[in-house]
Structure 1
Amino acid sequence: MRLIAWTLTLSLLVGCGWHLRGVTPLPDGYRVLYIQGGGNDIRQALRQQLEFNGAIITASAADAPVQLIIEEYDVEKRTLSVNASGQVAEYELNALLSASVVRQLDDEKQSFEVNARRTLSNDVNNVVATQQEETQTREDLKTDLITRLIRRLQSLEQAK
């Protein structure tokens, strides 16, 4: 009986187009591209994720039919709440990634931005752990923004 239930569940999931996260294939027009701008860390992480998804990143803009221009990457930290003694209890991290895609063939430029938000608890008695948690949260935000950016690249070809 369990086998039948599992088989039915899996066949429904496969039939509706659901799939596990992982490789996100890019449209044919965006598989070869050049990354320009942004800091070294965001550019390197984006390059790694794009290559994992089957993209070819060129060394120069002249070799690529598409340029991905990272215009802005910023993580803003603001106080979310304070405790009874006036110390910060929680922070909010807001991340923004602005980018443009320029197709060399028709000089078409499409700009878009993705953003993400996380909350961070501040333990005033354990500063080192709070700093490590903030570092990890910033990495998670960067990964989330890159994933959203790649999904936007997927939707560009479908929108045409």
Structure 2
Amino acid sequence: MPTKRYEWKPVDKAANLLIQSLVAESHLGYTGVEKASGGAIGYNRVRDLCLGLKAPARLSEFILICNVCHADPVNALRTIIDITEGKPYIMSVDAISDDVYADAVKYYEKQEIKFLKKQAAEPKGLSRETSLDRRQVTDDEIADTISKLGKPDVGLAAYHGDHKLDDEGDDAA
């Protein structure tokens, strides 16, 4: 199973939008496309193509989905080129009301919410290193802390307790 991450180019994103629209307009859904293709393309792959996950569509997958959804591959390719050039593409009302489109919208909304939460959690104008190193500790402070730990009345809490034994193993530390 390949683990390569793909960089989606504008053409890939346009193909993703068109495949999503074709599947939604056909009202087949992911399972319907899988069954209509005779198992040549699986449910998970159709879902990944419609949601824009993993790898972009291969030409064979694109043509297969066009045939299953009764769309002309040549016209579909022209539409992809038009979308890539910035021409508007409007999905049909059937596509917008279909579950496939709704799944994609929900997925992208979740991704946007995750992104916004991550952005809000990061301190503004500070990198992680600067937010952790706001206070520089001097050598004198370090030496003072070490000398305090050497005194008998001051120590780390982990070294003291009834359940801890001293060096000889008979008395509590």
TM-score band, normalised by shorter chain: under 0.3
Q: Computing the radius of gyration over CA atoms, which structure comes out larger, 1 or 2?
A: 2
Answer 1 or 2: which has greater helix percent. 2
Answer 1 or 2: which has greater strand percent. 1
